[in-house]
């Protein structure tokens, strides 16, 4: 797929998953310093991987939540917990993904992840802080 098409597809998928407000804010914050990096993320992550049909966006969100939790990337994790709600994942499913992290990546990683997920969920209207 040509780069322009992958960029357009990536932008559309990114908006579906993260929401317009997040993408608009990221675009406003973009500078010449990180412009190439932002294009790489949009085309590579969103236009290539997230756009693939083999997994639906809800499943990809849960996989992403588990990976970010296992790696201890709590800032990105909070963003992707909110995104998982956009893709249809229920708080109970997010909690199950994090429980899996405890078994395969360790209790300390899961403990940090549960705290981050609770913060993210508490920040969403109509969602209880405890999944």
pLDDT in tens, 60-81: 999 999 999 999 999 999 999 9
Angle 102-14-26 from CA coordinates, rounded to 5°: 95
Greater pLDDT, 2 or 18: 18
Q: Please determine, for residue 83, whether its predicted confidence score (pLDDT) is greater than 80.
A: yes
* Gap between the Cα atoms of 49 and 5, Å rounded: 14
Return the minimum-mean-pLDDT range out of 32-36, 66-70, 91-95, 121-125: 121-125
What average pLDDT does the structure give for the chain?
Answer: 93
Over the stretch 10-45, which tens digit does the pLDDT of each residue have? 999 999 999 999 999 999 999 999 999 999 999 999
pTM higher than 0.85: yes
* Sequential DSSP letters for 4-67: HHHHHHHHHHHHHHH-HHHHHHHHHH--TTTHHHHHHIIIIIIIIITT-SSS-HHHHHHHHHHH
pLDDT band at 130 (very low <50, low <70, confident <90, very high): very low
User: What is the DSSP code (8-state) at residue 45?
Assistant: I
Placement of tokens 């999944």 in the chain: 131
CA–CA distance, 84 with 32 (Å, rounded to integer): 30
What domains are there in the chain, each with its CATH number?
Answer: 1-54 (no CATH), 55-131 (1.20.1290.10)
């Amino acid at each position: 797929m040509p780069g322009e098409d992958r960029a357009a597809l990536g932008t559309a998928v990114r908006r579906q998953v993260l929401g317009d407000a997040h993408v608009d804010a990221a675009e406003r914050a973009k500078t010449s310093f990180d412009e190439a990096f932002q294009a790489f993320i949009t085309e590579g992550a969103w236009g290539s991987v997230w756009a693939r049909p083999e997994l639906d966006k809800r499943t990809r969100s849960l996989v992403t939540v588990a990976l970010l939790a296992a790696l201890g990337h709590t800032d990105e994790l909070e963003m992707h917990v909110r995104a998982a709600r956009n893709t249809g994942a229920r708080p109970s499913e997010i909690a199950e993904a994090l429980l899996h992290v405890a078994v395969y990546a360790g209790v300390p990683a899961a403990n940090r992840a549960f705290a981050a997920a609770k913060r993210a969920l508490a920040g969403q209207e109509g969602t209880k802080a405890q999944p």
